[in-house]
């Protein structure tokens, strides 16, 4: 039976591009009912996969049966892909061997699981650039939201990874997106959108009106 070390060597020989190895525990946060993928993790991995072959390193001993809700070794890829992280393989290591292997991103070396910082450094998102949007759901309703990086956000929405209400209603289309703004202004515009009635949201989505700002910061429809 092929060992994990032999598998890594074989994959390196088969792939001309570099291999990106990421610890599973740098990709997720634990919750009472299991694990959730950290924000922007999937967007960064999706970007890096254009240049690298992505392997998830599973550390034996650290992730044992004592942790409830942890996906099994066999189910790890399925769990990550279902949550918007496109990975290629999962390899299991004991901790000592993992530290000696060619790990480019790991909690033990130069990566602390801050996917937002990494996304900014790679240019996946711009620091401090936020957008507010309206999503048209499959039942025809218009749901509000805000995000940092609209392209990555739209990908998540299409993959069923949006807010609970959007997941329940079903994503249909991105109906309207604001201009770039600071997070503070995005919060204020989101509150303004949530106060609008269905008719005004529909007019905004169809381009019949726009959101304008008074000199004192007050928002209004024009």
Q: What is the mean pLDDT of residues 36-64?
A: 76
Mean local confidence (pLDDT), 32-37: 75
Identify the burial level of 159 via C-beta atoms within 10 angstroms of its C-beta, where 0-12 means exposed, 13-18 middle and 19 or more buried: middle
More confident residue, 26 or 110: 26
Q: Which pLDDT value is given to residue 63?
A: 44
pLDDT score, position 144: 92
Top CATH class of 131-221 equals alpha beta
pTM over 0.75: no
Q: Which two tokens stand for residue 32?
A: 């009472």
> How far, in Å, CA of 120 to CA of 140, rounded?
34
pLDDT at 74: 74
Domain boundaries of the chain, sorted by first residue: 4-122, 131-221
Considering the domain 4-122, what is its CATH architecture? 3-Layer(aba) Sandwich (3.40)
User: Could you tell me the pLDDT band of residue 99, with boundaries at 50, 70 and 90?
Assistant: very low
pLDDT at 161 over 80: no
**pLDDT at position 108 over 90:** no
For residue 124, what pLDDT band results from cuts at 50, 70 and 90? confident
Q: Which residues pair with 211 in a beta bridge?
A: 221
* β-sheet with 171-177: strand ranges across: 142-147, 131-137, 171-177
- In terms of average pLDDT, the best of 17-31, 33-47, 52-66, 207-221 is 207-221
């Amino acid at each position: 039976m092929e060992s994990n070390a032999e598998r890594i060597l074989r994959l390196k020989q088969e792939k001309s591009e570099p291999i990106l190895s990421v610890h599973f525990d740098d990709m997720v946060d634990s919750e009472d009912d299991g694990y959730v993928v950290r924000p922007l993790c999937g967007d960064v991995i999706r970007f890096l996969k254009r240049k690298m072959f992505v392997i998830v390193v599973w550390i034996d001993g650290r992730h044992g049966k004592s942790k409830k809700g942890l996906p099994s070794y066999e189910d790890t890829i399925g769990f990550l892909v279902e949550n918007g992280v496109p990975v290629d393989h999962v390899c299991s290591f004991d901790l000592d061997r993992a530290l000696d292997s060619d790990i480019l991103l790991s909690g033990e070396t130069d990566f602390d699981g801050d996917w937002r910082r990494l996304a900014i450094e790679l240019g996946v998102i711009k620091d401090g650039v936020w957008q507010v949007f309206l999503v048209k759901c499959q039942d025809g309703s218009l749901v509000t939201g805000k995000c940092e990086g609209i392209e990555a956000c739209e990908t998540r929405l299409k993959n069923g990874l949006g807010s609970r209400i959007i997941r329940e209603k079903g994503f249909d289309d991105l109906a309207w997106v604001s201009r770039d703004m600071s997070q503070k202004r995005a919060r204020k515009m989101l509150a303004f959108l949530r106060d609008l009635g269905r008719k005004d949201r529909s007019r905004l989505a169809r381009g019949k009106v726009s959101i304008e700002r008074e000199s004192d910061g007050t928002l209004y429809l024009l």
